């Protein structure tokens, strides 16, 4: 059975919060990482910040369109993602954290897609597009992890 409008709004707010947390962690990691091996990861994270922020904006717009109110900073629920490592040369920890965040985003978008089926095609379409983008990031960082963990 499809979710109610309120349930869909709540799920969108979770995704919105996740995207904002990702932006913060990507900025931190793109600035904090040190070392020659970190350069490609820093560039990739820095480039992804704009895309992840755009995702949050799109989610916020959809929340508003279907009758919700976009959460402000006091209502955004963050802290569920792996935090940037204290060791600024631990590139593999950053890559693993990105993979975990992207997997969580994919799971949330899949949840929303299923909840909207037959009920809210516009939200479903938005989340399908966002899922595709997150899957692209996931595959990229899984590839980075393969390279960085070679013996």
The domain that holds 121 is classified in CATH as 1.20.1260.10
Domains held by the chain: number: 1
pLDDT of residue 2: 76
Give the burial class of 20: count Cβ atoms within 10 A of its Cβ; 0-12 exposed, 13-18 middle, 19 or more buried. Answer: buried
Q: What share of the chain is helix, strand, coil (3-state, %, to 5)?
A: 75, 0, 25
Residue 31 CA to residue 29 CA, distance in Å, equals 5
Residue 69 CA to residue 63 CA, distance in Å, equals 6
| Segments forming the whole domain that contains residue 23 | 5-69+76-148
Residue 33 CA to residue 84 CA, distance in Å, equals 9
Average pLDDT per block of 10 residues along the chain, 151 residues long:
90 98 97 94 95 97 97 91 94 97 97 95 98 97 92 57
Q: What is the pLDDT of residues 2-36, one digit of tens each?
A: 789 999 999 999 999 999 999 999 999 999 999 99
pLDDT of residue 151: 57
Q: What is the pTM of this model?
A: 0.94
Instruction: Give the CA distances from residue 138 to residues 17, 48, 104, 121, 142, in Å, rounded to whole numbers and listed in that order.
Output: 19, 12, 10, 25, 6
Query: 77-110 in b/e burial notation, b at 16+ Cβ within 10 A?
Result: eeeebeebbeeeebbebbbbbbbebbebbbebbe
């Amino acid at each position: 059975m499809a979710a109610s409008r309120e349930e869909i709004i709540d799920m969108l707010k979770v995704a919105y919060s996740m995207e904002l947390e990702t932006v913060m962690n990507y900025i931190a990691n793109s600035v904090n990482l040190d070392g020659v091996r970190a350069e490609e990861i820093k560039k990739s994270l820095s480039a992804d910040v704009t895309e992840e922020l755009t995702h949050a904006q799109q989610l916020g717009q959809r929340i508003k369109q279907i009758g919700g109110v976009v959460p402000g900073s006091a209502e955004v629920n963050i802290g569920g993602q792996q935090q940037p490592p204290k060791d600024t040369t631990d590139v593999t920890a950053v890559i693993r954290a990105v993979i975990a965040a992207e997997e969580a985003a994919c799971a949330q978008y899949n949840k929303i897609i299923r909840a909207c089926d037959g009920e809210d095609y516009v939200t479903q379409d938005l989340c399908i597009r966002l899922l595709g983008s997150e899957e692209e990031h996931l595959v990229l960082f899984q590839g980075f992890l393969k390279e960085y963990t070679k013996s």
